[in-house]
């Protein structure tokens, strides 16, 4: 169904937003509360207790008989239970007493004995021609107790039912009550409660540009509708965990100044059949009433998995019904004018194709891990609340954290502040950030681990071998720090600054393999024997060598062949090549590793004295840095492209100032 430009324009006027404010300020309707039932029961008990209160004084059986013998009693009323016909109490009315009867109350222990004695006394008075004692029966029905006995079990059953249903349906929100289990659990966030804007989102320039168009459409739709454009139905944020997808959605809500419904994909999933689809319908109904509005579904892969993949449960399960309803609401026969759906996921590969097609999620915005310049901007945001040392280089921090997400960088800044506070420092300096990175990547230091002197010496020369080879090779990652303090599962570690490359050449991969083999080569040269400490190095270089030969086609003997399967349909039980080819691949991998091992030994033999000095220095200090290597080996011949790029940016900033 087509919608004219004028109709769309009318839906996006300020009047709609004003009316939404008016509705939100109106008093809420009647809401049932289970505690009212408890109050009613308590009131019934109180009324019953008050009704049973009698101002008459209780009198004993012997005293009552004395008053009857003394002709002081005018009338006795025997109160009996209507159901059992048992005497409950005796009401006594005296002669010459102006008070309202009954004047006394007797609760007989043995009503038969009391009646017998009263008859005897009554017969004696009749013989003496005195005034006869009046005796009357009275029946009482305990209806209130019967009602309470019937109501209490029912109320207890209802209370238990309410408790079980609240626990099963999530206990809160729209679906927390039994009568609203099919209601959407999305949180409506008003513009006053959103403090995050695009200024708080560092990096992600391309992603921000994409969502900015959506925000601009919500603010001024006539700018686009007058040219015949239509509002996009949805935008999906795709990327690794921690890259800022949810933060970007919050910034959209803060910038758009429109009602923002936020919920998770798991909020639709329930144990009851049809609840998920019902919540989807209710969510879109609420969003339409408050249009223009935004719906944000985080972790949409919880309900958006491809249909028909699970043969065990069949194709008609609850998750698929929820997905079908979502597909219908986003692009069905109904109209969702003014409602934009945003979603976030890090599993875009498993989503249903009907969900990601044009007309539903029109745009897929890829939120990738931040690059060098973006990491610097992210650091600038997270460093604002910290008390930093003036000499702290933000460029160094950005280069020190390759592959870190925005969440990881925020964690690094927080961890550095905690480490500085633990050391009773007044400011956070470079060393605190390095310790924070080390702790996040490698784990806590284990200085208490027992290591023999021979083992410690082996570890020191092993790490010195890595450092030396990396320093002498052009394409190897430059070294930043070397430590022989046990950290996590490792006995020693060397930290590098890898270049962020989009393409990797054969020479670069061979240099990386050679650097990794430097540790074992140093053990062989200086001690004449090798240890198990090179396990992680061997695992790394073996995978790299097999990737060179069988995936990237970088081997001259094997040729330009790749056995990479991008579709993921290849079975792991069968190989796409013959046994002869497998033997050739194994031989080529072994040749590559042997050649780079010999190359590493040649470099270490050439600089043997300097390596020995580095090993001894590391053995004494336990931790050495880039400056220590420059003292021993001299400055490194090759400069990093990234470092030059950062320096150029700083020069451009200074020129603008």
- pLDDT, tens only, 477-489: 877 778 887 776 7
Strands (E), 167-280: 187-189, 234-238, 260-264
* Per-residue pLDDT at 602: 94
If you average pLDDT over residues 75-97, what whole number do you get? 75
Q: Which residue shows structure tokens 């690094």? A: 412
- Three-state DSSP state, 96: coil
Confidence of residue 6 (pLDDT cuts 50, 70, 90): very low
> Per-residue b/e over 285-313, b at no fewer than 16 CB within 10 Å?
ebbbebbbbbbbbbbbbbbbbebeeeeee
pLDDT at site 516: 92
Strands 73-81 and 87-94, bridge-based pairing: antiparallel
Q: pLDDT, tens digit, for every residue of 151-190?
A: 777 777 777 777 776 665 544 444 444 445 545 555 666 6
pLDDT of res. 35:
64
Secondary structure class of 523 (helix, strand, coil): helix
Q: Quick check: 356 and 390 in contact, CB under 8 A?
A: no
Using CB atoms within 10 A of its CB, is residue 348 exposed (0-12), middle (13-18) or buried (19+)?
Answer: middle
Tell me the pLDDT tens digit for each residue of 109-136.
Answer: 666 777 777 777 777 666 665 566 777 7
Sign of CA dihedral 397, 400, 406, 411: negative
Per-residue pLDDT, 347 = 83
pLDDT of residue 417 exceeding 90: yes
Q: What's the pLDDT at 620?
A: 85
Asked whether residue 7 carries a pLDDT value surpassing 50, the answer given is no
293-336 pLDDT, tens digit each: 888 888 888 888 877 655 454 444 777 888 888 888 887 665 65
Active-site residues: which are they? 463
Residue-wise burial string across 417-453, b where 16 or more C-beta atoms lie within 10 A, e elsewhere: bebbeeeeeeebbbebbbbbbbbebbeeeeeeeebee
The one-character DSSP state at 361 is S
CA dihedral 392, 395, 396, 402 (to 10 degrees): 140
Q: Is the pLDDT of residue 549 over 90?
A: yes
> Phi/psi class of residue 299: alpha, beta or left (left: φ > 0; alpha: ψ in -120 to 50)?
left
Q: For 559-607, how does the pLDDT look when each residue is reduced to its tens digit (9 = 90+)?
A: 888 888 766 566 556 778 888 888 999 999 999 999 999 999 999 999 9
Q: What's the 3-state SS for 452-487?
A: CHHHHHHHHHHHHHHHHHHHHCCCCCCEEEEECCCE
Which residues pair with residue 189 across a beta bridge?
260
The 10 Å Cβ neighbour count of residue 542 is 16
Residue 4, SS3 per DSSP: coil
Q: Give tens-digit pLDDT for 626-651.
A: 888 888 888 887 776 666 666 666 66
DSSP run (H or E) holding 180: none
Mean pLDDT of 525-531: 90
**Is pLDDT of 147 > 50?**
yes
- pLDDT > 90 in the chain, percent: 12
Sorting pLDDT into bands at 50, 70 and 90, what band is 15? Answer: very low
């Amino acid at each position: 169904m087509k919608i004219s430009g004028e109709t769309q324009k009318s839906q996006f006027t300020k009047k709609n937003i004003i009316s939404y404010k008016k509705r939100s300020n109106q008093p809420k309707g009647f809401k049932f509360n289970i505690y009212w039932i408890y109050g009613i029961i308590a009131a019934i008990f109180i009324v019953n207790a008050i009704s049973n209160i009698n101002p008459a004084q209780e009198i004993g059986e012997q005293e009552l008989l004395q008053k009857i013998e003394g002709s002081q009693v005018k009338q006795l009323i025997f109160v009996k239970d209507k159901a059992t016909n048992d005497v409950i109490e005796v009401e006594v009315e005296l002669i010459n007493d102006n008070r309202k009867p009954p004047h006394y109350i007797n609760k007989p222990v043995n009503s038969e004995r009391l009646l017998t004695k009263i008859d005897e006394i009554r017969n004696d008075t009749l013989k003496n021609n005195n005034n006869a004692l009046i005796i009357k029966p009275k029946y009482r029905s305990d209806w209130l107790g019967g009602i309470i006995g019937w109501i209490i079990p029912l109320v207890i059953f209802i209370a238990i039912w309410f408790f079980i249903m609240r626990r099963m349906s999530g206990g809160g929100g729209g679906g927390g009550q039994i009568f609203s289990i099919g209601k959407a659990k999305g949180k409506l966030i008003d513009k006053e409660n959103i403090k995050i804007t695009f200024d708080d989102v560092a990096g992600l320039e391309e992603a921000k540009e994409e969502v900015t168009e959506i925000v601009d459409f919500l603010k001024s739709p006539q700018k686009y509708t007058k040219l015949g454009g239509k509002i996009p139905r949805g935008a999906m944020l795709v990327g690794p965990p921690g890259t800022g997808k949810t933060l970007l959605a919050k910034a959209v809500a803060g910038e758009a100044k429109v009602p923002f419904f936020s919920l998770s994909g798991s909020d639709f999933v329930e144990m009851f059949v049809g609840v998920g689809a019902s919540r989807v319908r209710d969510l879109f109904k609420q969003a339409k009433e408050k249009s223009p509005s935004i719906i944000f579904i985080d972790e949409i892969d919880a309900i958006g998995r491809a249909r028909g993949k699970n043969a065990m449960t069949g194709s008609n399960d609850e998750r698929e019904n929820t997905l079908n309803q979502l597909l219908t609401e986003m692009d069905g026969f109904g109209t969702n004018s003014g409602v934009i759906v945003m979603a976030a996921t890090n599993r875009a590969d498993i989503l249903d194709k009907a969900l990601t097609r044009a007309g539903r999620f029109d745009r897929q915005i890829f939120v990738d891990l931040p690059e060098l310049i973006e990491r610097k901007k992210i650091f600038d945001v997270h460093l604002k609340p910290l008390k930093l040392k003036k000499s702290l280089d933000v460029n160094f921090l950005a280069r020190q954290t390759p592959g870190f997400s925005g969440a990881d960088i925020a964690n690094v800044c927080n961890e550095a502040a905690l480490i500085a506070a633990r050391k009773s420092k007044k400011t956070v300096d470079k060393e605190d950030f390095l310790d924070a990175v080390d702790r996040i990547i490698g784990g806590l230091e284990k200085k208490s681990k027992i290591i023999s002197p021979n083992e410690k010496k082996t570890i020191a020369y092993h790490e010195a071998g890595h450092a030396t080879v990396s320093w002498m090779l052009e394409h190897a990652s430059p070294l930043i720090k070397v430590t022989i303090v046990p950290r996590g599962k490792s006995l020693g570690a060397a930290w590098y600054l890898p270049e962020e490359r989009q393409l990797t050449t054969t020479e670069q991969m061979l240099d990386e393999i050679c650097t990794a083999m430097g540790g074992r080569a140093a053990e062989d040269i200086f001690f004449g024997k090798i240890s198990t400490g090179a396990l992680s190095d061997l695992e790394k270089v073996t995978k790299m060598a097999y990737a060179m030969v069988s995936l990237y086609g970088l081997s001259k003997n094997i040729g330009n062949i790749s056995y990479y399967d991008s579709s993921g349909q290849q079975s792991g039980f069968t190989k796409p090549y013959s046994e002869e080819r497998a033997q050739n691949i194994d031989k080529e991998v072994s040749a590559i590793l042997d050649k780079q091992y010999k190359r590493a030994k040649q470099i270490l033999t050439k600089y043997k004295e300097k390596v020995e000095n580095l090993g001894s220095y590391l053995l004494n200090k336990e931790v050495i840095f880039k400056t220590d290597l420059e003292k021993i080996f001299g400055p490194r011949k090759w400069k990093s492209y990234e470092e030059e790029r950062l320096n150029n940016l700083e020069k451009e900033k200074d020129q603008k100032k």
